[in-house]
């Protein structure tokens, strides 16, 4: 149901890997709302190929960039402005990866070069993206930057492992950079704390299937899907949310404020 909320707005979308990706759904919805954008992902993800389909569908160009590499980011930002014909109005950071999780290392048995790599990819990359945009003066006034996060930043979910720490850091960057970006350029910066969602990154977390059903039963409105998240992101890119900044916004059907639900109590009364 398009509302033309992003007509004339330009941006960059990081992190569309396949059609389950939150960034993929967001790109489709931004396109429907009249926004134009460049798609980007790590060169290795490009080789897996599917992003071309999304580019065709949305009339977008693709520029590969490792979000931890400052040269790649500078090239991405400059080329995007050339392609789109001016400064940017929105940026989605939809990136996450823990090497410890991938290699099956427990939280209490981390390999610290894995920890550093995951921290760089999942958290510091958000700072690198914003610093590149900021120094290049690439954002229009009242632009909007969004990154995706998870509630393990506030509460412990044992199998989320070191991603919990990465998300806490990511959310802090949104607040800190949001201050400077707001003051200096009237750009807003927020994180969306999304429900568990069946994507490649999500399913990498141990016990994901049990966990997603638990969250579904705990949330009064049920889990928010990738499409729901895309819709919320569109609202944050639109002019309807100009004074929302430096926030971590829970988008989880009410999960984060629910102590327990009747469904969960019933399960334990069996």
Ligand X SMILES: NC(=O)c1ccc[n+]([C@@H]2O[C@H](COP(=O)([O-])OP(=O)(O)OC[C@H]3O[C@@H](n4cnc5c(N)ncnc54)[C@H](O)[C@@H]3O)[C@@H](O)[C@H]2O)c1
Give the binding site for ligand X (CB under 6 A): 14-15, 17, 21-23, 41-42, 45, 66-68, 94-97, 121, 148-150, 194, 196-197, 199-202
Q: Residue 145 contacts by C-beta under 8 Å, 6 or more apart in sequence?
A: 90, 91, 93, 129, 130, 133, 139, 181, 187, 188, 189, 190
Shortest reach from residue 14's CB to ligand X, in Å = 6
Distances in whole angstroms, Cα of residue 264 to Cα of each of 20, 157, 218 = 28, 17, 7
194 vs 238 by CB, closer to ligand X: 194
Pairing between strand 61-62 and 88-93?
Answer: unpaired
Shortest reach from residue 256's CB to ligand X, in Å = 12
Shortest reach from residue 146's CB to ligand X, in Å = 11
Shortest reach from residue 62's CB to ligand X, in Å = 12
23 vs 173 by CB, closer to ligand X: 23
81 vs 230 by CB, closer to ligand X: 230
At which residue do the structure tokens 């995706």 appear? 148
Q: Classify residue 91 by burial, with Cβ atoms within 10 Å: 0-12, 13-18, 19+.
A: buried
Cα(221)–Cα(212) distance, integer angstroms:
14
Query: Helix, strand, coil % (nearest 5) of the chain?
Result: 50, 15, 35
71 vs 266 by CB, closer to ligand X: 71
Q: How many CB atoms lie within 10 A of CB 10?
A: 21
Shortest reach from residue 134's CB to ligand X, in Å = 19
Shortest reach from residue 70's CB to ligand X, in Å = 12
98 vs 140 by CB, closer to ligand X: 98
94 vs 245 by CB, closer to ligand X: 94
């Amino acid at each position: 149901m398009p509302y033309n909320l992003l007509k004339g707005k330009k941006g960059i979308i990081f992190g569309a890997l396949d059609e389950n990706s939150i960034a993929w759904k967001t790109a489709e919805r931004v396109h429907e709302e009249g926004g134009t954008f460049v798609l980007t992902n790590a060169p290795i993800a490009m080789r897996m190929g599917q992003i071309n389909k999304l580019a065709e569908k949305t009339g977008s160009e693709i520029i590969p960039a490792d979000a931890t590499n400052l040269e790649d980011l500078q090239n991405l930002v400059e080329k995007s402005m050339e392609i789109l014909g001016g400064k940017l109005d929105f940026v989605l950071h939809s990136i996450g990866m823990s090497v410890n999780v991938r290699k099956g290392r427990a939280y209490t048995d981390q390999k610290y070069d894995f920890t550093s790599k995951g921290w760089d990819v999942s958290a510091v990359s958000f700072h690198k993206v914003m610093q590149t945009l900021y120094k290049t003066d690439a954002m229009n006034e009242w632009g909007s930057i969004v990154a995706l996060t998870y509630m393990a930043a506030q509460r412990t979910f044992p199998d989320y492992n070191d991603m919990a720490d990465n998300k806490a850091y990511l959310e802090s960057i949104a607040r800190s950079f949001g201050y400077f970006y707001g003051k200096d350029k009237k750009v807003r910066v927020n994180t969306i704390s999304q429900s568990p969602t069946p994507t490649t990154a999500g399913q990498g977390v141990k016990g994901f299937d049990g966990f997603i059903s638990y969250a579904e039963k705990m949330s009064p409105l049920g889990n928010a899907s990738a499409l729901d998240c895309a819709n919320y992101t569109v609202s944050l890119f639109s002019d309807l949310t100009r004074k929302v900044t430096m926030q971590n916004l829970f988008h989880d059907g009410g999960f984060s404020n629910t102590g327990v639900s009747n469904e969960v109590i019933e399960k334990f009364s069996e």
